[in-house]
Amino acid sequence: MTDSYRTIAAPVKARLTRKKSRFIALLYPVSSEREVTEILEKLRREYHDASHRCSAYRLISGGIARADDAGEPAGSAGPPILQALDGAGLYDVLAVVVRYFGGVKLGIGGLIRAYGDAARAAIAVAEIVTRVPQVRIEVTFPPEISSPVMGLVHRFGAKVEGIDYGAVGRARLILPRSRLSEFSTRLKDATGGRGTIKEME
């Protein structure tokens, strides 16, 4: 699990023309496949008159990477876009390149270059930021052992979203995902196995 990753701060757009074909490259920060689907549907309506709407995305969660040629010859559009994201080391990014055909065929090699160059042009104008993968967890524990639990929370620098003390103590925390395994082990040691962790949505 990586401690940090590169992504984009906000959506960006770039344009490119090759042999009268116009390419519009769009980048969006995303965090789930559902978000990807929603954006692609919105773009389908917005660019309904385009010849093609080819796309690729990479998500840090699950290491998901997908590419879609959207009717262009196999491997000529989606993979070059994905390669541009990969080459820039970007995750949690959806890249869409919209093409308006200009009447002159580009050939497979020309398409590969055009789609890849369009995606790279958008990446070049994007603000790149570094993020740390986070996980939201709920820690439950007997209230009488709250002191070692909270001591552990502070040592790990976890962000506390809320704490409830009832028959069972509950702490809702945000923690770097890369530290979850160690936190779980330390919690077990500190509470004699009486503290439990559950990942939250």
CB atoms within 10 A of CB 198: 10
- At 78 the pLDDT is 95
- At 162 the pLDDT is 87
Q: 10-residue block means of pLDDT along the chain (201 residues)?
A: 82 94 96 94 95 95 90 94 96 96 91 96 95 87 88 88 87 86 90 87 68
103: amino acid identity, one letter: G
Would you say 91 and 5 are in contact if contact means Cβ atoms under 8 Å apart? yes
In which residue are the tokens 């104008």 written? Answer: 125
In which residue are the tokens 């040592």 written? Answer: 155
CA–CA dist 112, 118 (Å, integer):
10
- At 120 the pLDDT is 97
- The C-alpha torsion from 174 through 179 and 180 to 181, rounded to 10°, is -170
Counting every residue written for the chain, the total comes to 201
Strand partners, 130: 6
Task: Spell out the domains of the chain, with CATH numbers in brackets.
Answer: 5-131 (3.30.230.30), 134-199 (3.30.70.240)
- At 1 the pLDDT is 46
- At 135 the pLDDT is 83
φ, ψ of residue 174 in degrees (nearest 5): -120, 130
φ, ψ of residue 24 in degrees (nearest 5): -115, 115
- At 2 the pLDDT is 56
